[in-house]
Structure 1
Amino acid sequence: MKWRASRFLLAAAAVLAGMATAATVHPGQAGLHVPPPDRRGEEQTYLTFPEWFLVFSPAEYADWLQQHPPTRFPFFAHVGQFWSAYGHVVAATRGRYPFNGEYHTMICVIGASTTVEYTIKGVYDTLVGRLSQLGLPANATPEDRLAAGVERDYVDFIRVEPWYKFDFVTPLRRLWGGTPWWGPHALRKWERRYALSSEWLTKAAYGWLLGMATHEAYAVPKDTTLAVVRNLPADLPADVRQLAHRGDEYLLALPRYQGFGDAATALSARGTAFEEIAGNRGTILVSVLAPRDAPPPGYTRVLFTQPVLTKPGQQREVLQVPVDKLGALLDRYANTPGAIEHVFDY
């Protein structure tokens, strides 16, 4: 991962080393394969879900803030969803793969950090935030509107970068320098100033420390995922590169993380079929947002489902998909914007 988990990763949690790219063929095996330095264990498609949940949750919060006050967001239920999902991941990987102690340690660290953050927010907004919000519509003050915009910017940022690189100082300057000090709903204004200043100052300081520790301790992870495909289109997506080919098989470099799903969807729409991703020809995890009564494709297995707590009737289906069926799944949802939430590219 680009260490989506490094949002709350302490120096004790491990980051995989950067890897080199080169085409190779396994001894005694015909055909093209992802070279050993670019392979990642299949268990990582499962282990990366808890990390990405900490993108999905802030994204849900950012959507909620557009029309609702933060005081009604289900912080405690999201904590429960994180740990429940981790339990499913443990059950799915136990005994099937070697135990990845470093990754599990990292998940526990980010989970504990999120639990503390969401508990503080939930308790504060229940006891204090609701009082200042009493009788007011959502986003009644400039401070509320600023917070909603910053949360959206934050989510867009952490889809591609570690959270600790986000600039929390600029919103603080806008809060105190670009927002009127006085105006309607003064109690709510000053309560929000206190709450947002406390949050952003803490995250700015913690992020700076974490960034220093990560820079000193770990190599920069690679930002590509290599895949072996068939049916290469004449017009490759702009962020996809061909590295090698043998017969009708092609070795491609796709962007990693959020960009992998976008690139894979574009390739699938052009008729490309996946055979191997990051050295894996077995299972890849995909999360789909769908109505609760929508059955998943028969070639998938449901690892677990979660209700989208702020969108009644919608659920997150976490599907185990054969690598060679990934294109079929992406094509199935191609005409439903937002249905494919994430492809967990190891």
Structure 2
Amino acid sequence: MRRLVLLSLLLVSLLAVSGPITPDANRRNEEQTFLTYPEWFLVHSPAEYARYAAADRPLSDFPFWGHIRQLWASYARVTEATASYPLNTGYHVMILVIASSSTVEYGLRLAYERTLGRLGEWLRGPAPTVEERYAARVAQDYVNFIRVLPWYEYDFAQAMHGLWQLPAGGDSLFRKWERRYALSSEYLVKAGYGWLIKQATQASYGKELLTTLVVLDQPAAPDAQLPDVHLLQTLPDGRQLLSLPRYEAFRSHAEALAQQGANFHEIAGNPPHAKLLLTILAPANWQPGSGKDQLLFEQPLLTEPTRKRVALVTRVGQLGERLRQLHKQPVELEHIYDY
């Protein structure tokens, strides 16, 4: 009888060790690594636009429609990649809402920039107006913000206020006032639509977690540049349960930990064999090679023809080694889609 009890306790112990270490509240489903891509494309696209605007290139030539094609094509591809998982209805509905609204927004902006906007460009002098420089700064500030927090939290009302504090006179008066009209319309609509989306999102899902829990195979070395890494538990076998920031900061933290030699055993409760999507920005002629990663798709950067976006599927347990390999190559890690 005593042996039976001991065997039962040993079995329970083994099962506990083999199961996920991450608490239930911090686990996220594996298919979300794919389904978060369309959300993040709507960060990558504004980032490309911000770089384009900062260079004072003609906004009437920005490929709004090309970005919409890339958005829907990538959604189709990640939908195929998640066909074997249980249907995540809520996430698909959310993607359809944001993709449809972005299609409408980009369509309207394309129509405007190719008509009245192009006229303003043609009548403008050689230097950008203060409104154009301001719009480029706001575009970059917006990108910096949505890499960390949801877009609907951005203060478009403050952006509008700042626009109308600019000097009203000066050269290129038609372009100045055309830009004021275009930017005021954009900020006003986004402020109202963002407020509605925020109410609907919080009513349906509550506030999003801003952290991702990971399990590393070895202790993480202290790093003054990573103050947001928090040790939650050290396991008997030396592995550590850590809290990392989610979204954009997860990329830089994962890279730093990988360079320390760490490997991941869990990310948001997903085990070593779980799939994990990442994207890199690479030279147009770069090829991923014959490693263990799966090439999901490629997208040219439409305003930077010498570079492309490459979406690769790796595994949680291979992430550390893959990041160390990419660090040695002429590529830029764009994002890790951490569920």
Match of 1:226 in 2: 213
Q: Which moved more, 1:114-123 or 1:180-189?
A: 180-189
Q: Deviations over 1:48-80 (max 9, x none)?
A: 000000000000000000111321110000000
Match of 2:296 in 1: 303
For residues 340 and 115 of structure 1, what CA distance do their matches in structure 2 show? 27
C-alpha deviation, 1:323, in angstroms: 1.3
For the structure 1 residues 220 and 207, does the alpha-carbon distance in structure 2 shift closer, same or farther, using more than 3 Å as the test? same
- Please give the secondary structure, in 1, of the residue aligned with 2:227: coil
Match of 1:57 in 2: 45
Say if 2:39 is the partner of 1:47: no
C-alpha deviation, 1:242, in angstroms: 1.5
Residue 66 of structure 1 aligns with an amino acid whose one-letter code is A
- Please give the secondary structure, in 1, of the residue aligned with 2:114: helix
For residues 336 and 133 of structure 1, what CA distance do their matches in structure 2 show? 40
1:268 paired residue among 258, 261, 266:
258
Q: Deviations over 1:121-164 (max 9, x none)?
A: 00111111111101647762111111111101100011111111
Equivalent pairs, count: 321
C-alpha deviation, 1:248, in angstroms: 2.4
Q: Which moved more, 1:79-88 or 1:210-219?
A: 210-219
Say if 2:63 is the partner of 1:74: yes
For residues 181 and 301 of structure 1, what CA distance do their matches in structure 2 show? 54
Contact 2:282 2:330 in 1 (8 A): no
1:187 paired residue among 153, 174, 182:
174
For residues 26 and 123 of structure 1, what CA distance do their matches in structure 2 show? 62
Q: Deviations over 1:267-292 (max 9, x none)?
A: 11111111121122221000000012
Say if 2:238 is the partner of 1:248: yes
Q: Gaps spanning 5+ residues in structure 2: where? A: 1-11
For residues 36 and 53 of structure 1, what CA distance do their matches in structure 2 show? 28
C-alpha deviation, 1:231, in angstroms: 2.1
Specify the structure having the higher radius of gyration (Cα): 2
Match of 1:114 in 2: 102
Residue 251 of structure 2 aligns with an amino acid whose one-letter code is G
For residues 138 and 46 of structure 1, what CA distance do their matches in structure 2 show? 44
Superposition map of 1:132-147 within 5 A? 132-134=120-122, 136=124, 140-147=128-135
For residues 78 and 34 of structure 1, what CA distance do their matches in structure 2 show? 37
- Please give the secondary structure, in 1, of the residue aligned with 2:132: helix
Q: Gaps spanning 5+ residues in structure 1: where? A: 1-23
The percentage of counterpart residues that share the same residue type is: 45
For residues 302 and 269 of structure 1, what CA distance do their matches in structure 2 show? 24
C-alpha deviation, 1:219, in angstroms: 1.8
1:323 paired residue among 308, 316, 329:
316
Match of 1:16 in 2: none
For residues 128 and 288 of structure 2, what CA distance do their matches in structure 1 show? 41
For the structure 1 residues 87 and 344, does the alpha-carbon distance in structure 2 shift closer, same or farther, using more than 3 Å as the test? same
Work out which structure has the larger RCO, using CA pairs closer than 8 Å and 6 or more positions apart in sequence: 1
1:153 paired residue among 124, 141, 144:
141
2:279 paired residue among 272, 275, 287:
287
C-alpha deviation, 1:256, in angstroms: 0.8
- Please give the secondary structure, in 2, of the residue aligned with 1:156: helix
Root-mean-square deviation (Å): 2.1
Q: Which moved more, 1:129-138 or 1:195-204?
A: 129-138
Residue 33 of structure 1 aligns with an amino acid whose one-letter code is I
For residues 266 and 76 of structure 2, what CA distance do their matches in structure 1 show? 27
- Please give the secondary structure, in 2, of the residue aligned with 1:327: helix
Match of 1:17 in 2: none
For residues 203 and 16 of structure 2, what CA distance do their matches in structure 1 show? 41
Q: Deviations over 1:22-62 (max 9, x none)?
A: xx978364487223332211100000000000000000000
